[in-house]
Structure 1
Amino acid sequence: MSTVTVSEFIEAQDVDVWRLLTDLPARAGWLSAVGAVDVLTSGEFGPGTVWCETRVRPDGTAEPEEFVVVEAVAPARLVLSSRGAGVDYRITWTLRTVERRRRGRTEVTVEQEAVPTAAYGRMLALIFGGLAARAVEGALRRDLADLALAAGPRRSAEAA
């Protein structure tokens, strides 16, 4: 198993950050690596919600990823699972209020755990583990930067 964790301070209230994270149809609008989102379940967002998002890789290829909500505790914790080829992923988003001033400030931490489920998944983890961890870290940092930009003060001023 490998785990990659990154954090970012976002100049927004935790409820505003949560709203962005859980508004599935809007994800493609603020996540620069996501080209499309297809919500596969109906009803309110929560455990059991499933969607597929098409992510554009650094080499330009598009790859669909399906996510399932495992846990959703608004506005503090969101746990997702995603099955890969020979690997299962668990992605945990944690939101922690740092300041409650007018705009607020939230520390957002995202952790991705990769658990090989097949022999070739374990072999690939051994061979490419460090390289894969750096690629995952870069993708998570990009997603956090996109989230910070979407939730930031400029967006709130536009909405006002």
Structure 2
Amino acid sequence: MIPALVPLPGSPWTVLPPGAHAASLEDVAAAFATNAWRRELFDGLVLASGKLRLAGCPAIYLDGSYVTGKPRPGDFDACWDPTGVDPAKLDPVFLEFANGRAAQKAAFKGEFFPSSMMCVDVGQAFVDFFQLDRFTGKQKGIISIPLSADPLLSGKVQP
């Protein structure tokens, strides 16, 4: 379940309360795909989620202005759990970080990083870095989406 967004002093938009909040893609759609642009971003997230699930990815972590109160987020940010991922089945775009992740944004309208990859700017794994508000440095929440049994992906991705 996705909790209500909360104000964070110093941040321009409401944010998720601290923690990794487990949710399905349908939960994400209900909470955040609330207009045509947000739905377009969500469609890219679903496409990427299906590709990651096909490669054996167990979960993704959703962050960025998409999961805030910002009326028109530019994109979404996500990281994916590399545990059990078959490199031969992984779409190479998930490992393409050049030009501000332009290939990922073109394919999915968002950015993806392996969750265990270090964000060199802060010396933390992306899954931890994503839980810090970029404006204040304070703790905030992210969404954890288990992919293996997500109802929205059922029937779209073959095992």
TM-score by length of 2: 0.28
Larger Rg: 1
Pick the structure with more helix per residue. Answer: 1
TM-score by length of 1: 0.27
